[in-house]
Amino acid sequence: MKAFSSLREIKNQISAGQTSCRDLVVYYLQNIESNRHLGAFLEVYAQDALQRAEQIDQKIQAGSAGRLAGAVIGIKDVFCYADHPLQCASQILDGFRSQFTATAIQRLLEEDAIIIGRQNCDEFAMGSSCENSSFGPVRNALDPELVPGGSSGGSAVAVQADMCLISIGSDTGGSVRQPAAFCGIKGLKPSYSRISRHGLAAYASSFDCVGILAKNIEDIALCLEIMAGADEYDSTVSSTEVPRYSQMLDFDRKSKIVYIEETVNSDKLQPEVKELFFEQLDWLRTQGHEIKSIHIPLLNYILPVYYILTTAEASSNLARYDGVRYGFRAKQNTHANKSVNQLIEMYKKSRSEGFGAEVKRRILLGTFVLSADYYDAYYTKAQKIRRLLKDETDKILNDNDFIVMPTTPTTAFKIGAHAQDPVQMYLEDLYTVQANVVGIPAISVPIGKDKAGMPIGFQIMTGIFKEAELLAFSNYLLENK
């Protein structure tokens, strides 16, 4: 069976009797097996997927199948899926099985999507390279010596290497867009609150978003319109009406587009990425779009703001993993006194042994900035700057249609290259965190490759809840370039 590039193509093949949902699942299972060395999947639901495929084939024959019939989807190991394991690529949740299904995943299932497995990621979605998983790193299918980006690295590689049609990831600071750029596919982070977070394991609750990785914009648009919308289980989700994104992909107007001087003048920007970025702007200019540069001096503070606030929220969110009620529990010294001290020792040992180095680093940083002596100096000040950044970004988007910038400062780097330098790793989020800090939608689309043949991503951002315009413009850019 050949590789499919879209759900539309699959549906046409099914309608013509040339394939079936069961055939598709068999095909993807074979690809997963042959690409095990990439480490994209932590668990494959082979029997579940085959059984569900047969049921959906019957629904197709009866004319009652949902909009996602034929879509084989992988989910990042941060989403609850009833009666299936959830580990967040961590030992701290060893043995835990979800008791319910995340709202976003449930809505896909109700439209007859087939979930083929859970995908590897940085532990608790904390990372920019997918090296922090307690189950080993994920490898880029184009060059297994290179990282795929993170934290949704397994999700990106699964689409890249044709192990599923679509992946559902999470994006807290670029975790969908950065691996999409490194793997040469498309990745969307919608507006904050556009998709319910119910059933998504929390990292930083005011930043976390459900994201979508796919080979084309139409499939992203369809999944978004299915997953988005109000949810009684999530008080933070927006009740704003959900458009039919997949029916709104035509783009026939001239746009006002801005890029930020501080992003393209960074000494961290790889020359080939910068060159292709400006080539893309030149092409847009020839098509009649207005292009101009702007300054946002506060952008120099965006990474510190992001890491102060997300680590603070992580410190709070991850306090629930204590080894008492579920998951990993460290073995106790049987000679210890049965007292409060023994309980505290169990907490300490379970969390020390169950969490990986990067997660512990971020918990400690977050606990530090929330401490009484430093709360105002760091956390309160970061919240104020976050508000200023939001106001400035909103002002820009009130007068312009899109903000564009490179998705990442570099192309994919070697596994282990930044292992001893966390700050260098954090700099890989330089261009993606703005959308999460201010809550606007953003997408990464591929625009070319560097001299080594590794993909380069182009990031587009727009105003909150303007996903329809963002998807239509992205589709226009890809179809006409």
Contacts of 260 (CB under 8 A, 6+ apart): 293, 294, 295, 296, 299, 403, 405
Q: Is a pLDDT exceeding 80 seen at residue 346?
A: yes
User: For this structure, is 76 an active site residue?
Assistant: yes
Q: Indicate whether 459 pLDDT > 70.
A: yes
Catalytic residue among 11, 76, 186, 466: 76
Q: What distance in Å separates the CA atoms of residue 227 and residue 232, rounded to the nearest whole number?
A: 14
130: Cα within 13 Å, side-chain hemisphere: 40
Q: What average pLDDT score do residues 338-361 get?
A: 89
Instruction: Measure the CA–CA gap between 380 and 374, rounded to whole angstroms.
Output: 9
Would you state the structure tokens that stand for residue 265, as one six-digit string? 């003048």
Q: What is the chain's mean pLDDT, rounded?
A: 96
**What pLDDT, on the 0 to 100 scale, is given for residue 190?**
98
Token reading at 290: 């207005």
Predicted pLDDT at 435:
98
Give me the DSSP letters along 224-235. HHHHBS--TT-T
Structure confidence at residue 337 as a pLDDT band (50, 70, 90): low
For 39-95, write each residue's pLDDT tens digit: 999 999 999 999 999 999 999 999 999 999 999 999 999 999 999 999 999 999 999
What is the rounded CA–CA span in Å between residue 416 and residue 421? 10
Query: How confident is the model over 395-404, as a mean pLDDT?
Result: 98
**What DSSP element (H or E) covers 259?**
strand 256-260
**In this predicted structure, what is the pLDDT of residue 340?**
63
Q: Which residue has the tokens 């001299």?
A: 451
Give CA–CA dist 172/192, Å, rounded: 10
| φ/ψ bin of 191: left (φ > 0), alpha (ψ from -120 to 50), beta (otherwise) | beta
Place of tokens 């680590």: 311
Specify the pLDDT at position 221. Answer: 98
Banded pLDDT at 419 (limits 50, 70, 90): confident
Can the peptide bond before residue 151 be classed as cis, meaning omega within 30 degrees of 0?
Answer: yes
pLDDT-based confidence at residue 320 (cuts at 50, 70, 90): very high
79 backbone dihedrals φ, ψ, rounded to 5°: -110, 135
DSSP track, 308-354: HHHHHHHHHHGGG--SSSSS--PPP-TTS-SSHHHHHHHHHHHHHHH
SS3 category, 414:
strand
The two three-digit tokens of residue 336, written as one number: 């210890």
**Mean pLDDT, residues 412-429:** 91
Q: Which of 128, 133, 155, 175 is catalytic?
A: 175
Distance, in Å, from the CA atom of 254 to the CA atom of 260, rounded to the nearest integer, reads 20
DSSP-assigned states of every residue in 26-72: HHHHHHHHHTGGG--EEEE-HHHHHHHHHHHHHHHHHT---TTTT-E
pTM assigned to the model: 0.96
Does the annotation mark 11 as catalytic? no
Mean pLDDT, rounded, for 105-122: 98
Residue 420, pLDDT score? 85
d(CA 139, CA 135): 12
pLDDT in tens, 12-39: 999 999 999 999 999 999 999 999 999 9
pLDDT at res. 481: 72
Whether residue 422 has pLDDT greater than 90: no
Give the pLDDT of residue 343.
85
Looking at the DSSP bridge assignments, the partners of residue 293 are: 259
Residue 380 DSSP label: I
Contact 448, 442 (CB under 8 A): no
Distance CA 307, CA 320 (A): 21
